[in-house]
Copies of this chain bind each other. A is one copy, B any other.
Amino acid sequence: MSKFRFELLAQDGAARAGVVRTPRGDIRTPAFMPVGTAGSVKAMLPQSVRETGADIILGNTYHLMLRPGAERVARLGGLHKFMGWERPILTDSGGFQVMSLAKLRKITDDGVRFQSHVDGAAEFLSPERAMEIQRLLGSDIQMVLDECPAFGASEAEIEKSLALSMRWARRSKAAFGEQPGKACFGIVQGGVFPRLRARSAADLQEIGFDGYAVGGLAVGEGQEAMFKTLEATVPHLPVDRPRYLMGVGKPDDIVGAVLRGIDMFDCVLPTRSGRNGQAFTWSGPLNLRNARHAEDASPLDEKCQCPACRQFSRAYLHHAVKANEIIAAMLLTWHNLTFYQDLMAGLWAAIASGSFVAFANGVLANYETCARVGVDWCTGS
């Protein structure tokens, strides 16, 4: 079986264009991974996700362990077969969702005890179990279990949490073992504290991973603090491994993170926004609920080739959103994922051609200041 490897193909400043080779196909970077939480990228068929240009999707260990269960997915031939997606899948470790969704959670050095939000059952997640679940799912890129402290924790609390995450990272890597063609990524923690981020990056490299994620950001610290933290973290990461900024983000977050050397992203924003009547376009964000679209016969985005833009008017999308028709979620999700993949393709080409700054400025003209143009939904992370 061919190996998992990262090839750096071009650089423009700190921005990188490359490709991650895996037995299930190449992942062009910068890469955006649509989120397929519970075995489905919501409101999309797998072939439609691929048509948007996605090379890889993300699955959530937390959701899948609770329903339908990792052992069940394994008996059914693994997650790829189960959900009809044959290309690479990255799974998170479940840590973030346990912290944000589960009830009655209790963290010890062993792991996390918690109550399922699905049926109230008592559950346990440890580094070893998180890796076992990801192996059972057949995940191509498996993430270590980490603790995700809430934003606002003190430096001392973050330092203590980081120590636990680094112990768990070592146990996760040991549990991952040897899986030809599969990758295990470590996760840099440390809040917004450069000293802790640098230490975390060093600790993880001592263990040795196939890729390095930056976790614990986009949790409320704001874009400026996020970018500063990236600037304090990325230089401590190895050049020859992919770098993944978890849970990010808005188009301007992604552009700014690529500018600072990040290669991979995931976020529910394009899919969740699509279910809420919100669209990302090359002219900026749009809320299709707005009455000004009610008789607008023009397409959602003149520059987009997705079915929503080729076959329907803004007036139709407005109507479908207002009438709560499922097709609104289907079309706007398809559009938003297309926009995100087109954005990534644009970033790739801009880096390869040495025109990153010009391309980034073109995007940021419509996105960096979206808070100021009155689109509330675009201002959060």
Q: Which residue numbers of A lie inside 8 Å of B, CB to CB? A: 38-40, 42-47, 63, 67-68, 72, 75-77, 82-84, 275, 294-295, 297, 307, 311-313, 315-316, 319-320, 322-323, 325-327, 329-331
Contact partner of A297 among B67, B76, B313, CB < 8 A?
Answer: B76
Within 8 Å CB of A316, what residues of B?
39, 76, 82-84
Within 8 Å CB of A67, what residues of B?
319, 322-323
CB-CB nearest 7 A-B residue pairs: A43-B326, A40-B327, A40-B325, A68-B319, A84-B311, A38-B323, A76-B315
Asked whether, in the complex, the Cβ of B326 is within 8 Å of the Cβ of A330, the reply is: yes
Within 8 Å CB of A42, what residues of B?
325-327
Within 8 Å CB of A327, what residues of B?
40, 42-45
Within 8 Å CB of A84, what residues of B?
311-312, 316
Asked whether, in the complex, the Cβ of A39 is within 8 Å of the Cβ of B83, the reply is: no
Could you list 4 further interchain pairs (A-B, Cβ under 8 angstroms) beyond the known A40-B323, A45-B307, A63-B323?
A: A42-B326, A72-B295, A72-B315, A82-B319
A145 and B63 CA atoms in complex are apart in Å by: 50
Within 8 Å CB of A295, what residues of B?
72, 75-76
A313 and chain B: residue at smallest CB distance: B76
Within 8 Å CB of A46, what residues of B?
311
A310 and chain B: residue at smallest CB distance: B84
A39 and B322 CA atoms in complex are apart in Å by: 12
The smallest C-beta distance from A335 to any residue of chain B, in angstroms, reads 13
A311 and B48 CA atoms in complex are apart in Å by: 13
A316 and chain B: residue at smallest CB distance: B82
The smallest C-beta distance from A82 to any residue of chain B, in angstroms, reads 6
Residue from the set A47, A67, A83, A275 with the largest chain B CB neighbour count within 10 Å:
A83
A84 and B38 CA atoms in complex are apart in Å by: 31
